[in-house]
Structure 1
């Protein structure tokens, strides 16, 4: 733990001559002014947009008209469309095609590759197809046929399909173990092509269900273009569209950085994490599509404010100051400013300003009722952070169920999910907000995944700096088990939570599919950032490469 004694004059806090504060000594942003200035090339972008529109029509005809009578071929093209990141252009076409394919579904039709592909695409779109379709690939004794091992493409397709499992599907649990084992062997085999090995390596690290769409699309383009059967029009569309959307994201990021420089948090709140670029990456992982410009702008600003709030509650603020801040956020009134310590005032004022900006836009859209939910979720975030701060102040290690009630919600998933509904248009109603703010199963599952992965990744760092007890501490203390035994239990809970998420996509769904996709996309970002450590707080190669792929380097045409 790092403890600093900060004189009042230096910290601009008018409470005591000296205040002892915990700090995390976060590393500064690695990006500097890299994204601060972006010069739009409107003429070039207009030309790219024209090409995209023309190619969309060509691809629509090739995939949804010309290939309509060959289900296997059409499914492969739909899969490519989704993996290349351009499915948002063809949502209605894809839905109609899958509905027709589902209506003529034959359980015993096709080899392993095609059966698994069809199962995965239909399941992913909410069709409750039975995993019994894979029984034909088993021996009489219940084992999978040994001949499947040589069908590496089929095994990879089966592996991806198995990740769509729900509770009680023992066959898919066995399939995941079976395919994982043999695919790991295939990566060192001389019989598999280098192209196939690359796909296997990528899939073993991050299956399609957990892949951040834009990042996966960027990587898949280099694989798809080397496939002998690739569709040239589709590939060109994907590359042009990626670069066009990248231009939009660069401009958005530049605008947000200018806002950040204006509020001057880096100087006024130097104890807080400076991760604005990483936050924007996170938000584009939730929704990257061009129509959500305002949503991304607001969500990035709010998650920046939540990160600052977290660092105030988690480390820098004294308990007495946190009481005052929590009351001020509850009251949501600029008149509270004078009661706050000097260093909290710019944060509080910016919070009010950003939410007011949301309110002004919502009034223009005729959706002013949504502002209530944005304010309430911010207030709730402060309440949850304060509950954790009280535990630390009192030296309390709560019971595991008590810890998860607070900590799984305050991780930020709920806030991100609720605010992401803003700017989603007419599919969002008051009922949607009510559903999402009442702890639905899919959000609860996503929160568990985030909380447990975050605690596993950051346990050592948080322990060293002095921090409220984590889920690992709570579980070990309550059940008297080792750290590794605890992590093993948590990994099982994470697997079960993914099953819960999959179940929530099966029709009839509790909410519109785009809303469920927000939560799924958010959980995929979590898997990326916390699977091998905390890549958000401690920015390393994974995050640097991801940001470069999405916001710096265009795809070569």
Structure 2
């Protein structure tokens, strides 16, 4: 049975207005572009960190405006390095032939698991391994049939905590209507959970680990999953200190605690689970598991070889765009391409990866222009020019803005042509609206910063979920995957849908929490923390962080519901939009990974794009 929309009525009983209530209580276009880039001088900052006033022709005075800068580190991935990547050996045809043979052999394993005893447990374990190893796209029909069998037999089988938690998580993510009440028999009166006394210590840890993973797939009001998350987090942290536990299990626990569901991107999980799976000597002794591991490794490396070819094209686009000359902004194009690949491994979706990465690049240059470098007068000119959507309207812009405008103009039009191939119609009006509302929200924040105005938390978030950039960076990309998003269902995933709002809300609040100190150093006053403290005199930064984290947790549950309910939006479209939000949250897992690509982010870029898995 699939999820229906009946749950939405429960959300309307206060959940959707929780933020407001809380606050009331407390207070020749391509040719034109090429000419523009060729004639612009190479722009470098002076010692005062500002452009030469001669360049800034739009100003009414010869006095150089005082500008804020982000002090961002330079690009870490030279185009010369990327273009020099050798041809990947896994492009050879015999690897594809070997993978095809393994896929065929593993498909027979589903039939074997569906017979004999413990059908539910065996099928769930097989599906879980295949999905976490990143090879599930090869077994879609088999997984569908396996889960139908699991669901039919659910009430007739004996289950332990491990199987129950695993089943709840997998069935819910595949949009079956399942209740977390199935975990009730394993819960004590004081909110503790227990495994069978007959299980080994490692078996108990595995069960609690799956309970932890299941707790994140919660809907609003499911208190038992809140208790499960609190209990399992404490239990697993203590388990890491125990002796006599196999290293691969401790590795698995450590990885899952470090990256919760919202920050654990599919391809990154595959890379890490391949390592964990290969460390388990008991698994490696069985032929079936050796086949799974061998397929996962070869498939990962073959897909990575495709990523590298796409990365070369993408890096070349960035280099030739003129954007490297806009040196006050963050040059994070490779990191954004990593995010796109970590979300979407399917070979046929190269347009999705390209569109997502390009949109993120465009939004970042606009963000740094509006947030830090541009003056309010310049920003008003840029906003007006973008809304006209006509390259002839940019004459009054400073030259650095001309570059950004033309890359935006050409990029959005190019992505619209790609989307038309999948949707069968022109969707440019939706893309233009997304970018226009984005820059309007950015301009509002620029005015607030310039006037030192601190909005209320409600005002900040209503504007901030738009200025987060989630909508414009996602919209055109998700139109290049399977599924026609007709006009009559567009509003269910695009603005003003609750799904769109929650994605932007998640990015805005998580970003505020993780980037607060850096923004203060840059002189920015727009932050959820600052607004909360203004609304609540006498409150501390810690009070604000606790309030916002609790609010974010509740909104994530609602976002889960919006993702998994059946409402006519193509599943693939909605899944990838949701995963884009997770991609952004990954950069904010520890701190602001957009402003500073710290070592872990660099390692992940290497693992997904550069370094193959050892065979």
456, 464, 477: which is aligned to 1:420? 477
- Contact between 2:479 and 2:573, CA under 8 Å: does it hold in 1? no
- Contact between 1:81 and 1:87, CA under 8 Å: does it hold in 2? yes
258, 283, 287: which is aligned to 1:229? 283
Residue in 2 that maps onto 1:293: 350
Which moves more between the two structures, 125-134 or 41-50?
Answer: 41-50
What pairs up with 1:400-415 in 2 under 5 angstroms?
400-415=457-472
Residue in 2 that maps onto 1:72: 121
Residue in 1 that maps onto 2:305: 247
79, 86, 106: which is aligned to 2:135? 86
3-state SS of the aligned residue for 2:242?
coil
What pairs up with 1:169-318 in 2 under 5 angstroms?
169-208=222-261, 210-227=263-280, 228-229=282-283, 231-267=289-325, 269-318=326-375
Which moves more between the two structures, 396-405 or 167-176?
Answer: 167-176
Matched, 1:152 2:205: yes
Q: 2-side partners of 1:441 and 1:329: how far apart?
A: 27
What pairs up with 1:280-429 in 2 under 5 angstroms?
280-365=337-422, 367-429=424-486
How far is 1:242 from its partner? 0.6
Residue in 1 that maps onto 2:8: none
- Contact between 2:465 and 2:507, CA under 8 Å: does it hold in 1? yes
CA deviations 1:150-183 (Å, max 9, x no partner) are 4111111111112222222222211211111111
- Contact between 2:464 and 2:505, CA under 8 Å: does it hold in 1? no
Q: Structure 1 pair 382/248, CA: closer, same or farther in 2 (3 Å)?
A: same
- Contact between 2:161 and 2:195, CA under 8 Å: does it hold in 1? no
Q: 1-side partners of 2:234 and 2:492: how far apart?
A: 40
Matched, 1:540 2:594: no
How far is 1:363 from its partner? 4.7
3-state SS of the aligned residue for 2:65?
strand
Q: Structure 1 pair 420/426, CA: closer, same or farther in 2 (3 Å)?
A: same
Stretches of structure 2 lacking an aligned partner (at least 5 in a row) = 1-46
3-state SS of the aligned residue for 1:106?
helix
For these two proteins, the number of residue pairs brought into alignment is 554
- Contact between 2:370 and 2:379, CA under 8 Å: does it hold in 1? yes
- Contact between 2:349 and 2:480, CA under 8 Å: does it hold in 1? yes
How far is 1:520 from its partner? 2.8
- Contact between 1:210 and 1:523, CA under 8 Å: does it hold in 2? no
Matched, 1:21 2:67: yes
Q: Structure 1 pair 145/75, CA: closer, same or farther in 2 (3 Å)?
A: closer
Residue in 1 that maps onto 2:78: 32
Which moves more between the two structures, 356-365 or 173-182?
Answer: 356-365
Residue in 2 that maps onto 1:8: 53
- Contact between 2:512 and 2:527, CA under 8 Å: does it hold in 1? yes
Residue in 2 that maps onto 1:99: 148
What pairs up with 1:124-135 in 2 under 5 angstroms?
124-135=173-184
3-state SS of the aligned residue for 2:67?
strand
Q: Structure 1 pair 232/321, CA: closer, same or farther in 2 (3 Å)?
A: same
3-state SS of the aligned residue for 1:535?
coil
Residue in 2 that maps onto 1:516: 574
Aligned-pair RMSD on alpha carbons?
2.3
Q: Structure 1 pair 421/523, CA: closer, same or farther in 2 (3 Å)?
A: closer
CA deviations 1:458-491 (Å, max 9, x no partner) are 1111111111421111111011211000000111
How far is 1:434 from its partner? 2.5
- Contact between 1:446 and 1:497, CA under 8 Å: does it hold in 2? no
- Contact between 2:192 and 2:231, CA under 8 Å: does it hold in 1? no
How far is 1:15 from its partner? 4.5
How far is 1:407 from its partner? 0.8
Stretches of structure 1 lacking an aligned partner (at least 5 in a row) = none
TM-score scaled by structure 2? 0.85
Which moves more between the two structures, 469-478 or 428-437?
Answer: 428-437
How far is 1:437 from its partner? 2.1
- Contact between 1:13 and 1:343, CA under 8 Å: does it hold in 2? no
CA deviations 1:418-454 (Å, max 9, x no partner) are 1222211334333343222233333322322211111
- Contact between 2:191 and 2:231, CA under 8 Å: does it hold in 1? no
- Contact between 1:195 and 1:223, CA under 8 Å: does it hold in 2? yes
3-state SS of the aligned residue for 2:436?
helix
Q: Structure 1 pair 447/109, CA: closer, same or farther in 2 (3 Å)?
A: farther
Q: 2-side partners of 1:114 and 1:453: how far apart?
A: 33
Which moves more between the two structures, 46-55 or 425-434?
Answer: 425-434
TM-score scaled by structure 1? 0.94
How far is 1:142 from its partner? 6.2
Which moves more between the two structures, 335-344 or 273-282?
Answer: 335-344
Which moves more between the two structures, 424-433 or 124-133?
Answer: 424-433
3-state SS of the aligned residue for 1:191?
coil
- Contact between 1:411 and 1:447, CA under 8 Å: does it hold in 2? yes
Which moves more between the two structures, 184-193 or 65-74?
Answer: 65-74
Residue in 2 that maps onto 1:58: 105
Residue in 1 that maps onto 2:509: 452
How far is 1:329 from its partner? 0.6
500, 514, 526: which is aligned to 2:558? 500
Residue in 2 that maps onto 1:553: 611
How far is 1:56 from its partner? 1.7
Q: 1-side partners of 2:264 and 2:611: how far apart?
A: 20
3-state SS of the aligned residue for 2:415?
helix
- Contact between 1:373 and 1:433, CA under 8 Å: does it hold in 2? no
Q: 2-side partners of 1:57 and 1:81: how far apart?
A: 14
- Contact between 1:319 and 1:389, CA under 8 Å: does it hold in 2? yes
